[in-house]
């Protein structure tokens, strides 16, 4: 076939420079060139982004948490508004312009008959990983891949309950490519803003005011009875 004639025909006037080059190549070189173009196209294509947990590999990211150097799963007395949670992960695939999102999720034992904590497959609608005391869908967003650990001060308004931590790999389109969650739950308690010394002082003052009030009432009552008796 005269490839030169084919290139000059009207039907091929709209061919790209790459197509012109491939057409004029010998058949073996055509196959190599086409394969190279296909490989380049695949490499240039962005990673698939999802909106459902079920669309992604299960637990592709391994997540662990510590508080003060102790595993959160075995730590006691973790307190909202006072402690810092250190989240670490492995297995997150680094993507250009990508980042991680960290969520605090109610343990299954805390959802029960509470529809406002119901699990949903749609990531953005999953109420099990949203806080409702003060509406919040994540503990942290735009978290960098490196150094694969991130410190989060536990918000004071977190409800006292058992939780797990979830890490999601987020792509530039705000879709998700991977996720993982801690294998065990930990308890967070309510922050007590009153020091124990102040609580003791308040208890004493309350007790003293009750005693003083009762004594005052008895004295006043005695005086009234004496005054009534004097007029009889």
Report the CATH number that the domain containing residue 93 is assigned in CATH: 2.60.40
Contact predicate 143/61, CB 8 Å: no
> Residue 165 half-sphere exposure, CB side, CA atoms within 13 Å?
29
Q: Rounded to 10 degrees, what is the CA torsion of 14, 20, 22, 23?
A: 90
3-state secondary structure of 189: strand
Strand pairing class (140-143; 99-106): antiparallel
Helix (H, G, I), strand (E, B) or coil at 179: strand
Per-residue confidence band for 21, with pLDDT thresholds at 50, 70 and 90: very low
Residue 119 phi, psi (nearest 5) = -75, 140
Across residues 15-19, what is the average pLDDT?
49
pTM, 2 dp: 0.64
The reply to whether 67 and 175 lie within a common domain is: yes
Structural domains counted in the chain? 3
Query: Which string of b and e fits 23-60 if b means at least 16 CB within 10 Å?
Result: eeeeeeeeeeeeeeeeeeeeeeeebebbeebeebeeee
Average confidence (pLDDT) over 17-29? 51
| Residues 89, 157 within the same domain | yes
Question: In this structure, are residues 49 and 101 in contact, taking their beta carbons and an 8 Å threshold?
Answer: no
Q: What phi-psi label fits residue 52: left (phi over 0), alpha (psi between -120 and 50 degrees) or beta?
A: beta
Distance from C-alpha of 124 to C-alpha of 49, rounded to nearest angstrom: 14
- Give residue 147's pLDDT: 97
Average pLDDT over residues 66-85: 96
The better pLDDT of the pair 101, 200 is held by: 101
Q: Is the pLDDT confidence value at 11 over 80? A: no
Whether residues 166 and 61 fall in one domain: yes
Q: Tell me the sheet residues that pair with 99.
A: 170
Report which DSSP code applies to 178.
Answer: E
CA separation, residue 178 to residues 48, 80, 119, 142, 209 (Å):
10, 28, 18, 15, 61
Residues 177-193 have pLDDT tens digits of 999 999 999 999 986 65
Q: Are residues 10 and 81 in the same domain?
A: no
Of 98, 101, 130, give the one whose Cα is nearest residue 117. 130
pLDDT bracket for residue 198 (50, 70, 90): low
Q: What is the pLDDT of residues 118-137, one digit of tens each?
A: 999 999 999 999 986 667 89
State whether 27 and 80 are in the same domain.
Answer: no
Residues 213 and 168 in one domain: no
Domain shared by 9 and 66, yes or no: no
Do 66 and 10 belong together in one domain? no
Same domain, 167 and 212: no
More confident residue, 8 or 69: 69
Check whether residue 8 and residue 71 sit in a common domain: no
Note the pLDDT of residue 201: 67
DSSP state of 112: T
Tell whether 34 and 82 lie within a shared domain. Answer: no
Q: What integer pLDDT is reported at residue 13 of this predicted model?
A: 45
Asked if 13 and 111 sit in the same domain, the reply is: no
pLDDT (mean) for 48-55:
91
| Domain extent for 205 | 195-232
Q: Mean pLDDT score of the chain, rounded to an integer?
A: 80
- Torsion angle, alpha carbons of 143, 146, 147, 149, to 10: 30
Q: What's the farthest any 2 CA atoms get from each other in the chain?
A: 141
> Which strand (E) or helix (H) includes residue 37?
helix 27-44
Q: Is residue 69 pLDDT above 70, yes or no? A: yes
Residue 47 pLDDT exceeds 90: no
**pLDDT, tens only, 135-190:** 789 999 999 999 999 999 999 989 999 999 999 999 888 799 999 999 999 999 98
């Amino acid at each position: 076939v005269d490839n030169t004639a084919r290139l000059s025909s009207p039907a091929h006037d709209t061919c790209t420079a790459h197509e012109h080059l491939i057409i004029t190549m010998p058949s073996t070189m055509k196959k190599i060139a086409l394969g190279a173009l296909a490989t380049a196209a695949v490499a240039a294509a962005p990673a698939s982004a999802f909106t459902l947990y079920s669309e992604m590999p299960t637990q592709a990211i391994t997540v662990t948490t510590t508080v003060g150097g102790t595993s959160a799963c075995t730590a006691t007395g973790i307190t909202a508004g006072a402690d810092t949670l250190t989240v670490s992960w492995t297995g997150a695939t680094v993507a250009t312009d990508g980042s991680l999102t960290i969520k605090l999720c109610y343990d299954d034992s805390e959802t029960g008959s509470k529809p406002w904590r119901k699990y949903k497959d749609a990531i953005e609608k999953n109420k099990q990983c949203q806080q409702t005391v003060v509406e919040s869908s994540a503990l942290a967003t735009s978290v960098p891949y490196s150094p694969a650990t991130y410190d989060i001060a536990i918000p004071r308004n977190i409800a006292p309950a058992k939780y797990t931590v979830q890490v999601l790999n987020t792509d530039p389109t705000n879709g998700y490519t991977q996720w993982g969650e801690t294998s065990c739950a930990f308890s967070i308690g309510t922050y007590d803003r009153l020091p124990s010394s102040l609580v003791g002082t308040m208890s004493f003052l309350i007790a003293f005011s009750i005693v003083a009030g009762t004594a005052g009432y008895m004295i006043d009552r005695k005086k009234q009875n004496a005054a009534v008796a004097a007029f009889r």
